[in-house]
Amino acid sequence: MDLDLRLVRYFVTVADELHFGRAAAKLFISQPTLSKQIRKLEADVGGALLVRDSRHVALTPRGDRFLHLARQLLATADQMLREPAPHHLRIAHIFELDTSRVVADAFLAAHPAVRLVQSQMDSARQLTALLEGHLDVAIIRVTGAMKAAHPAGWRHRLLRLEPFRLVGRPGDPRRAAVSVHERPIEVFADAPGTALYNVHGRYLSSLEQHTGLALRWLGNPGTFDTCHAALTRAPDSAYLLEFDSYARRYEDLGIPTSRPQELQPVYPWSLAWREGERPEIVRTFLEVAEELAARLHWLHPERADGVPLWAPPEDLAVATG
């Protein structure tokens, strides 16, 4: 039986989004149709590629292997169908976090003739796509595990230390700083032991161990609107530990945010690119990103007076090493 490239593209989109609704919207088809097509692909290849329940989608071990081959197949097919564009650059974003988007906007403002091809992938998938030639630049959290799994073929440089803030509940008083021990701390992330526990989750686990906090893991709804809806429906008092990218959006909606009093967690974002001679367009993108980081003081984030910056020790060693 011949493999249907359309179904392979559907599968890769679901694997990138890990959410049937978002994938269906991106593909401009209905969610039931997408589910039916994925089941057909699984029947064609003779095994399950995805595990899904009412809340989560995850790759099976076979699905993970299939994804690697699927990307290669689609890249080959794309090359056969059209000549490579000399003035395009491929990057990816992580949900609606703003670091990569701010860089993308600055790059396009300076170089409007470049076609920026943008998609959504988490840090681990971005690195895989970068090494396989499907992305030209990645903006990711680099971990020791990534370096151990891929010791060669790529380079990276620290771009931003994004601070976390504590988001209160609607109606809370505005306070510049609050204690992380004052209320329970919630996080929108998938907990250890779940199928979607990832790079971000491991960061939060390290924070738990360092502070002795017992975080409330709420799962990862992805979009800001979904996170905001969950927060406004919450029945009890707590603080949501959130990236500055999202915290500012909560502030814009009238929900107060505060800086932590005991320590200032920061999330290290790094630029990553393939090793070897860099195309001019990649060099230009890296230069724009670094100039922007210097102008916005991304490596020197704001914090409450006298509060130390914190990130997992491995993160800072890897990011600056």
317 pLDDT more than 50: yes
pLDDT for residue 318: 64
Task: Write the pLDDT tens digit of every residue in 83-122.
Answer: 445 678 999 998 889 999 999 999 999 999 999 999 888 8
Half-sphere exposure of 2 (CA within 13 A, CB side): 3
pLDDT at 267: 95
Model pLDDT for residues 237-261, shown as the tens digit of each residue: 999 999 999 999 999 999 999 999 9
What are the DSSP calls for 203-247, one per residue?
A: HHHHHHHHH----EE-----SHHHHHHHHHH--S--EEEEEHHHH
pTM of the model: 0.73
Torsions phi, psi for 240 (to 5 deg): -100, 120
CA distance 187 to 145: 23
Residue type, 317: A
| Amino acid at site 76 | T
**Measured distance CA(218)–CA(7) in Å, rounded:** 32
What six digits make up the tokens of 11? 């599968």
Q: Tell which residue, 45, 47, 23, has the closest CA to residue 34.
A: 23
* Least confident stretch, 104-113, 199-208, 214-223: 214-223
DSSP 3-state of 99: helix
Burial of residue 313 (CB within 10 Å: 0-12, 13-18, 19+) is exposed
Residue type, position 100, single letter: S
Q: Which residue has the tokens 């603080």?
A: 239
d(CA 170, CA 10): 39
- What ranges in 46-122 are assigned the alpha helix state H? 61-81, 99-110
